Structure 1
Amino acid sequence: MKKKILLLIIFLSAFCVKSFSQSAGLYETYIVFGINGNANLYYDLNADTGNYDFDGQFLGTFCEGDTNGLIFKGGEHKIYKCGGCDLTSTRIYYRVYLTGSPSGSYVSNSLGYLSGFNNGCGGQNQIWDKVDYNTNVLDGLSSGDYTIEVYSDATVTCDGGTVFASNGGENYKATFTINASTVGGMISGDAAFCSGANSGALTLSGNTGDVVRWESSITSDFSASVVEIDNTTTSLNIENILTTTYYRAVVKNGECGEEYSGIHTLTINPNSWTGTVDTDWNEPLNWCGGVPVATDAVEIPLVTNQPIIASGDNILVESVNVFSGATLVVESGGNLTVANAVTVASGGDFTVNNNANLIQVNDVSNSGSVTVIKNSSALYRLDYTLWSSPVTGQNLQDFSPLTLSNRFYDYDESTDSYSVITPSTNDFSVGRACLIRAPNTYAAYVDDDTSGVIWEGTFVGEPNNGDVAVSTTTALNGYNLVGNPYPSSINVNDFFDANVATVNQTSALYFWRKRNDPNTTTYAMITKAAYVANAAAGGDTGASTFIGDSSDWVVNTGQGFFVQTTGASIVFNNSMRRGVNNQQFFRMEQQDEDISEVSRIWLNITGDEGEFKQMAIVYNNQTTLGLDYGWDGEALSDGPIALYSTIEGVNLGVQARSQFNEEDVVPIAYEVTNSGSYTISLDHFDGVFLQGQDVYLKDNVTGQLIDVKNTSYTFSTIAGLFTDRFEVVYSNQALSINDLVLDTDTVVVYQKNDVLTIDSSNLMVKEVTVYDVQGRVVYEKRNIDTDVVTITDLQLQKQMLLVEITVDDRKVYKKIML
């Protein structure tokens, strides 16, 4: 402003010394623009000031359609008038045309009086100004090079009425350029890839401007996870895309702003089965994107060859979708692990065969039905099995249609007994088991040559998945009937660990599988420490299966079992699920050959009529001599014979002890309901006992020490419970046969099958005399010299007898009620 004033003073000084050829004139004129939103710029028209000269000026490059690029604001005129001349108005004119083609009319823009002061010719110098027109010069103009032509005038009462500032009639001209607006264009190219086969190209077309970069995102609106791609060409090569991804190009034309192209969606379709070669899941050419990996969503459409997961296959995928008409089969010995959902369309067929597994990782909902097959053990007429369904919606009668309708049972925990359930109107409950009898058409068991029938249990429904909570009760003894709810095996250790707050401290998992035989106990049992069989014949002995690392042991698909609880519910979850393939309802995974931390022995007690009971003693550095949750297992004594050890008043079928010590002594109790001859034997062993450690059974009645690793021990007993007769020891420091001491417990007398038996525990019997209640001799025998005497010719009837036995010249008397 100071510069303008200085120039004005110089101008006026010069003017005052001249002759006044004109009485009025414009000595400084400006045109004012706003450019790109910045502060107003004053351009000189007919003056030499510090401002930019307008004439010959390039105003800039703008974008077509720009609303704020080049704004005409107005102008400012400085006008002198001498005495006797008045100034009435002033204007600034402009027109715009394509450079080199002058045309069009001028736009007139009036200015208003701002201020004035006296000058040297008796008049005034005045400033007229207006800078708020805000006219968009670019409005309606297309791209090209333009000229804006300007001049000014003022209306006065002298000098012919009008004075001009018009550059000697040539006017003042400046130029500017308009670029076409940026157009992002559209992307063409690959629109979908099959998972695993994703290399291709995208091409940008229809754009106006240059590519600045490309961008990708996994969100369709680019609101997150935007990746900038350093590529300024109109082509983009893409590869290794694992999920549906969105692409766009960023385009800029000259000074125009950046614009995005249309968004191109590159869909990663599930890896789809084609069956081009055969039915082999692991053949790459059978898939549109190669053999699926764990991150692939898999689709099974209807094609000629349908996929089969074979024995030994361990397949991992993200999800499975079986289309209508299509089939997927997991053969026995195969495993399919799915991270998320299994979907089977109506008309689709997904079958998990016997000893195969469908494992799921995440707790998601499935859709549609699968068929899960689980074979029973060999069954005979009147045999029962505890079944648990791996699917939802399986009707009981449909599952076993040949079973009599009154031979389906659930378990009433409040009465601790089985109750009949109507099979036609009831489905399996998730996580619970039912007791179901074999069809009456099966053959009855006669002997070991009788062939049993394997029932192919077929479950159809939506596969169970995720967390399953089963309500439980502590009524009566707190035993609850539950079952594996999944179409896969579950880990025994994981089940115990997940239910530490609910399962009783001494509870095992108890399994039913036996022939219909009153002489055998009903339940097998398993803990973290050992598995104990329920019967030597007709049940599961477990002799060759439950060895090795117990952390691998599992409960198979379809298996029901009992557990004793102290809380309101137990839980099953996906973390328990395993891919173990075997026929037994409860068996271990791949066994470890060297399990140095665990040493176990399994003892059997058997009777002459097939009675059987088993127990286990386990040495482990993770357990103690007290009760250990999940490791110790309370014995269920529901048969005519029992064998167990006792800790803190609890009778244990599995006793877990601390690290093995050769000086350890384990008292063993037995109970029989019938007098007679019984045998204790070592069924199998592992750990240090495979490395030469001896195992002895000590008979505290006879004083004998029996090496049960090499021989079984047969003894005679009357009916009853005996808690201190036997001990398991590991060194041979007991009495020999020559050191036996005769007492009344050494000699056992019992009657069975019309035979009177006298057993003196290896001491020689010399004479036997039998008296009736009246003191009459009813039987007498001399010079016997044997330790077991059987009397078959005694006329027996219901009465009390007194038996006099002479052993080593001493007499022992025994009463017996026939």
Structure 2
Amino acid sequence: MKKIYYLILLFLTISTVSYGQNLEIASQSFNSSAADTWGIFYNSPSFGSNPYIFDYVSSITNGTDIIGTVGGSDNFLGVKYGNNVFPPIDEREYSLYFDTFTLNDASKDHLIEFDYEYIASSSTYVPDVTYTIYNESYTPLVSGTLLTTGTSPATGIATESISLPKDTYTYSSGLTMVLFISYPTGTIDAEWENTLLKFDDFKIYENGFDGYVYNSGVWTAPTGYPAAPDATTGSIDALIASGTYTISSEVDLSSLIINSDSYAIIEATGSLNVTELTTNDNLTINSNSSQFGSLIVDGSVTGSTTYNKHVNSQPDNDFISAPVTGQTFGSFASANSNIPSTTGSNIKFFGPWDRTTGSYVTWTTTGNSNRTLDPGIGYRTGSTDNGTFSFTGTVNTSSVSVDVYHKGDTPASQWNLIGNPYPSYVSLYDFIDYNNFSANGADILQVSRGGLYGYNAALVDYWTVYNLANTIGDSNIMAPGQAFYIAVDNDLTGVMTFNPDMRINGSGDDFIPGRINTYNKRELILSLSSDDVMYHTNELYFFDDIVTLGLDNGWDTAIYGNNDSGYTLYSQLVESNSSYKMAIQSLPNSSITEEGVTIALGLIASANKQLTLDIKETTFGENVEVYLEDIESEDSWTLLNDQAYTFTTTEKLNGTGRFYLHISENKTLSIDDENAIESLKFYTGNKTIKIKGSLEANTTLTVYDIQGRKINNIALKKCD
């Protein structure tokens, strides 16, 4: 009696394993459910009349024993007769169906490989088993024999390798392997219940891989290239054939293929730039509190990726977004037991900002389990252990647009929580520039808040503000999966866009400042502190040609909210002041080099508090002097270049009018300057100096003692 079994090898997924130096292009190891993996193929080829499918099983009972697995998998494909169902006397067809697969290179030889095992009580019950490989047109390509009647099969698992030389076959999208089983003649008895034909680990290989090959810690490099991939190998392919490859610095490749039985890890210090990537679900990216692994893919990605993103521990908040997306919240919550939750409840400390109510949502593992973690959406959360949250999903390689809006009758809706959707760093400057001035972003953001607001638990008021002024330069970057707020203008709806051109290599914490000088950028950052506690900073930037003394969209940005109850230092615009409380103000360099500039400072502080105003950072040269004027102090002028200014509030402060900043350059005297000085008259006596005359520009008077020690600096205003 003869039985015919069809195994349709029409593989969809291009996977990645090597057979020696060969590249695996398709595989099936039966590790998922039969319904997800297989379909019944009834129609063609037609070699018989009664089609059936193989049994897809995790174990088959042989009497009281469980017959083992094949290839280390819990699941395999089996042909089994039991429960008094003996081999039928009529001829039957058994077939399985895969979707089509695509050859990487039809000009190369290919290899089909699979594991099989036949279990029987004796050689009496061993059939003839042969096979024929057919192409998608059902033209036979090659035949072979697996078992022979009357011969005991090999003990344990056998591997069959079928070679398909390119000059003896023609196929492009599918293969069908047909098994012919001829049972020996004689008595058909119950012993057939104890026979089992098993198959597992089907693979199709492409002969020869041109590029780097990694085998269990050892690289085989192409001729003329470094011993292992690095930042100079962007034109070369790489294959992780076995073992675990760890990336701890920058690596550039044309393509990376990870074996289905191998792994790759991008450490927190590492970055991978690649055009094509096949992960086989075996790529992991790590991060810690100060560094984040980075992945940039310019082409396509096959398979999922896991990103382990560091998250601050409670009681501090953290604003995050999914660096890889598509995962459901139920799956995400199950994978991360360190998401804080209410004792005895399914409420998790994780959720988006509700723009209608002005509060954070806390998701539950019941009501929100099917919600997907979509790209570009920001979430408020925190961890129980200052550890990482594991995200598993799709690597975004194209533009991501996030819907934003502001309903005028709902003030909270102006604040939209969004985040970096890529597993790579993003240039802050490029994001702010694009979304302030591109066609889709223009006029969406509030003109006084054309930047972004990052949460910083180390600050008393929690917010760090970024705009074009303090992010200009490629080293100013946003970490993978970092979320932040943007402020949408009144009654507007639009989108904020992340595009692949914004991605950039980098290393560091959530928001990383840079120091690349552009447009002759100079900066002055003031600090407000008390008892070694840094309350707030105010940032002033000076550029050539690109900004004015008034409001410049994207370059001048107000503080988050009004912060009326906290300690806040801000400035007012020099011109066209509309009572904006500026966290960042940009000014032209000419305002310093010509006559000097006076900037009104605003302060929010409680009464009876000793506070200190000081220069936190500056790139000014020694020729630029920065004076702080306190109109309520007897010693009203303080040269901040030399010392900080400390005072005690006698009442609650909330506004401007008391403190002014005077910034100007000290010039070498010209002949005209000397003539102007000669026109002044100086009178001394009783420890005072009186000056009589006319000044054409703001001037600084420095007093020294007879030993050359500087005693005081006094700012003199020009005569109007």
Could you say which TM-score interval applies, normalised by the shorter chain?
0.5 to 0.7
1:572 equivalent in alignment to 2:508: no
Alignment partner of 2:507 out of 581, 590, 601: 581
1:656 equivalent in alignment to 2:590: no
Percentage of matched positions with identical amino acids: 20
1:705 Cα offset (Å): 1.1
1:607 Cα offset (Å): 3.6
Counterpart contact for 1:603–1:682, Cα < 8 Å: yes
Q: Structure 1 residues 739 and 291 mapped into 2: Cα distance closer, same or farther (>3 Å)?
A: closer
1:696 equivalent in alignment to 2:621: no
| TM-score normalised according to structure 2 size | 0.54
Q: Structure 1 residues 316 and 288 mapped into 2: Cα distance closer, same or farther (>3 Å)?
A: closer
- Taking the aligned partners of 1:618 and 1:738, their CA distance within structure 2 comes to 39
Letter in 2 for 1:465: T
* Alignment match, 2:126: none
* Alignment match, 1:413: 355
Correspondences of 1:46-445 after superposition (within 5 Å): 192=108, 269=209, 271=211, 273-275=213-215, 278=218, 293-301=233-241, 303=242, 305-311=243-249, 313=250, 315-339=251-275, 341-346=276-281, 348-354=282-288, 355-362=292-299, 364=300, 366-376=301-311, 379=313, 381-394=314-327, 395=329, 396-398=332-334, 400-402=336-338, 403-404=340-341, 405-422=347-364, 425=369, 426-439=371-384
- Taking the aligned partners of 1:293 and 1:282, their CA distance within structure 2 comes to 11
SS at match of 2:429: helix
Q: Structure 1 residues 411 and 399 mapped into 2: Cα distance closer, same or farther (>3 Å)?
A: farther
Alignment partner of 2:433 out of 490, 497, 510: 497
SS at match of 1:727: strand
- Taking the aligned partners of 1:560 and 1:192, their CA distance within structure 2 comes to 47
Q: Structure 1 residues 276 and 414 mapped into 2: Cα distance closer, same or farther (>3 Å)?
A: closer
Counterpart contact for 1:481–1:563, Cα < 8 Å: yes
* Alignment match, 2:454: 511
Alignment partner of 1:457 out of 374, 379, 389: 389
Alignment partner of 1:605 out of 505, 525, 528: 528
Counterpart contact for 1:361–1:575, Cα < 8 Å: no
Letter in 2 for 1:562: Y
- Taking the aligned partners of 2:107 and 2:397, their CA distance within structure 1 comes to 35
Counterpart contact for 1:664–1:730, Cα < 8 Å: yes
Q: Structure 1 residues 370 and 490 mapped into 2: Cα distance closer, same or farther (>3 Å)?
A: same
CA-to-partner distance for each residue in 1:531-573, whole Å, 9 max, x for gaps?
7xxxxxxxxxxxxxxxxx5343111112110011244111101
1:317 Cα offset (Å): 2.5
Alignment partner of 1:527 out of 464, 467, 487: 467
SS at match of 1:629: coil
CA-to-partner distance for each residue in 1:107-139, whole Å, 9 max, x for gaps?
xxxxxxxxxxxxxxxxxxxxxxxxxxxxxxxxx
Structure 1 stretches lacking a partner, 5+ long: 1-189, 195-245, 248-265, 443-453, 532-548, 741-818
SS at match of 1:431: coil
- Taking the aligned partners of 2:231 and 2:623, their CA distance within structure 1 comes to 50
| TM-score normalised according to structure 1 size | 0.48
1:634 equivalent in alignment to 2:561: no
Q: Structure 1 residues 323 and 606 mapped into 2: Cα distance closer, same or farther (>3 Å)?
A: same
CA-to-partner distance for each residue in 1:335-357, whole Å, 9 max, x for gaps?
21122x432225x3443555221
Q: Structure 1 residues 277 and 481 mapped into 2: Cα distance closer, same or farther (>3 Å)?
A: closer
- Taking the aligned partners of 2:231 and 2:537, their CA distance within structure 1 comes to 48
Counterpart contact for 1:386–1:433, Cα < 8 Å: yes
Letter in 2 for 1:320: L
SS at match of 2:486: strand
Counterpart contact for 1:281–1:308, Cα < 8 Å: no
SS at match of 2:302: coil
CA-to-partner distance for each residue in 1:82-129, whole Å, 9 max, x for gaps?
xxxxxxxxxxxxxxxxxxxxxxxxxxxxxxxxxxxxxxxxxxxxxxxx
Counterpart contact for 1:352–1:358, Cα < 8 Å: no
1:489 Cα offset (Å): 0.4
1:596 Cα offset (Å): 7.0
CA-to-partner distance for each residue in 1:221-241, whole Å, 9 max, x for gaps?
xxxxxxxxxxxxxxxxxxxxx
Q: Structure 1 residues 298 and 731 mapped into 2: Cα distance closer, same or farther (>3 Å)?
A: closer
CA-to-partner distance for each residue in 1:491-540, whole Å, 9 max, x for gaps?
0111012212133333221111216x9xx202111112127xxxxxxxxx
Q: Structure 1 residues 331 and 290 mapped into 2: Cα distance closer, same or farther (>3 Å)?
A: closer
SS at match of 1:695: strand
1:300 Cα offset (Å): 2.5
Equivalent pairs, count: 432
- Taking the aligned partners of 1:551 and 1:628, their CA distance within structure 2 comes to 21
Counterpart contact for 1:694–1:709, Cα < 8 Å: yes
Q: Structure 1 residues 284 and 658 mapped into 2: Cα distance closer, same or farther (>3 Å)?
A: same
SS at match of 2:333: helix
- Taking the aligned partners of 1:330 and 1:438, their CA distance within structure 2 comes to 22
Counterpart contact for 2:266–2:272, Cα < 8 Å: yes
- Taking the aligned partners of 1:738 and 1:373, their CA distance within structure 2 comes to 68
CA-to-partner distance for each residue in 1:241-263, whole Å, 9 max, x for gaps?
xxxxx99xxxxxxxxxxxxxxxx
Q: Structure 1 residues 527 and 732 mapped into 2: Cα distance closer, same or farther (>3 Å)?
A: closer
1:721 Cα offset (Å): 1.5
SS at match of 1:530: helix
Q: Structure 1 residues 410 and 608 mapped into 2: Cα distance closer, same or farther (>3 Å)?
A: same
* Alignment match, 1:805: none
1:657 Cα offset (Å): 1.0
Alignment partner of 1:646 out of 572, 575, 579: 572
CA-to-partner distance for each residue in 1:700-739, whole Å, 9 max, x for gaps?
2225111222221112221131311111112599xx9989
Q: Structure 1 residues 274 and 409 mapped into 2: Cα distance closer, same or farther (>3 Å)?
A: closer
- Taking the aligned partners of 1:342 and 1:482, their CA distance within structure 2 comes to 27
- Taking the aligned partners of 2:524 and 2:229, their CA distance within structure 1 comes to 53
Counterpart contact for 1:274–1:287, Cα < 8 Å: no
- Taking the aligned partners of 1:672 and 1:322, their CA distance within structure 2 comes to 58
SS at match of 1:521: coil
Counterpart contact for 2:322–2:373, Cα < 8 Å: yes
CA-to-partner distance for each residue in 1:434-463, whole Å, 9 max, x for gaps?
111332xx6xxxxxxxxxxx4223322222
Counterpart contact for 1:281–1:309, Cα < 8 Å: no
1:624 equivalent in alignment to 2:562: no
Counterpart contact for 2:217–2:244, Cα < 8 Å: no
Alignment partner of 1:714 out of 640, 646, 658: 646
Counterpart contact for 1:284–1:290, Cα < 8 Å: no
- Taking the aligned partners of 1:406 and 1:564, their CA distance within structure 2 comes to 27
Larger radius of gyration: 1
Q: Structure 1 residues 350 and 272 mapped into 2: Cα distance closer, same or farther (>3 Å)?
A: farther
Counterpart contact for 1:316–1:336, Cα < 8 Å: yes
* Alignment match, 2:95: none
CA-to-partner distance for each residue in 1:645-689, whole Å, 9 max, x for gaps?
123322110001112533111111111244432221111111xx1
- Taking the aligned partners of 1:679 and 1:560, their CA distance within structure 2 comes to 32
Letter in 1 for 2:259: F
Report the aligned-residue RMSD. Answer: 3.7
- Taking the aligned partners of 2:617 and 2:225, their CA distance within structure 1 comes to 50
